[in-house]
Structure 1
Amino acid sequence: MRGQSGVSPPTTDEARPRTCPRCGQPAFEGGEVWIHGHGVVQRQQRGPEAPGKVTVKREVSCRRYRCKACTAVLTVVPASALARKHFSGAAMALALTLWGLCGWSAAQVRAVVGGQLPPEGKPRGWRTLARWARQVADGKLWASLDSRAQGAPRQVAARVAQALCGRAPPWARAAGLPHQAFAGACHVN
């Protein structure tokens, strides 16, 4: 489900969650709809469309639902989006791979994946990389990889980059590590 600008989001029925993650209520029970469509919202997503491409900021469409049983509001995001992250999962995978496996400096990664330089124009580090690595180590980011690595943030970044490369589809295996991790992130639940 890709909901980028200019592309309509999936229909309400296509994206409707089967159950409410908060209370467990099934979407349909007893001939009644319990999880109702609650509109479409736009969400910012940043990152390159592919390794080597320029970073863009785009809006993605997300469907919202409301559970009649517990009144929770649920948001269904495109597969490229990660919870509470402005960067796409593939962009984050690319950044961690360039930093952890390819040995790029944080400033180089920021300029390429972050798409921005500090206001004064001087390259400097990117603390976001270490934060993402800590979130991976804590199991809060890409928890399905079960790659809770210990060590310095760059070591954790290398470990998760390897795990994401391992998730790359067969067609991406001949490409370099950044391409493999980028493609692998698109195949992580």
Structure 2
Amino acid sequence: MSSLPCPDDSLLAKQAREGSSAAFGTLVYRYHGRVFAFLLTLTRHRQDAEDLTQETFVRAWKKFHRYDSSQPLLPWLFTLARRLSIAALRRSKPLPHDLPQPEPSSENDDALWLWEVAKRELGPDAYSALWLHYREDLPVKNVAKILGKREGAVKVLLHRARKTLAEAAKARPPELPKPIPAFR
């Protein structure tokens, strides 16, 4: 996934700034899934992520005059989404820590297992930095801007997150190979 704007993002952004709802709709269609996935990593609840995704795009429409069209749109949207999720978290009651976590759909999927470990073991900033940099393929500079941190601080977060995940991977018990079905 590239963090560079699509060739027509700047044109669509210009049209949206001038009030074109069709241009803005195209941008929403293009980035809705990625904003939703990012918010899902922050909220860990589908309904909250859906609500915040909608709120993010409503806020983007209202604040589009503040968007610098010389910059990629996605980091700006992620910044709006993160700020809205923080505000929502402050308004809500904290959930109990002992809620059951859904099991990964495939026990053999190492990447899925690693993201589950990251959710459990990392703090919100470290997890967000990891998601934005490795899943969304954003440069550290953009991740720092989204998280409101210095680039050096984001590099430290990423280093510590990788170290934590490496230790978890070493501690993971090896999986036994599945038996080969016998032919009859």
> TM-score if structure 1 supplies the norm length?
0.28
Identify, as 1 or 2, the structure richer in helix: 2
Specify which structure has the bigger relative contact order, considering alpha-carbon pairs within 8 angstroms and separated by 6 or more residues: 2
Identify, as 1 or 2, the structure richer in strand: 1
> TM-score if structure 2 supplies the norm length?
0.29
- Higher-Rg structure is 2
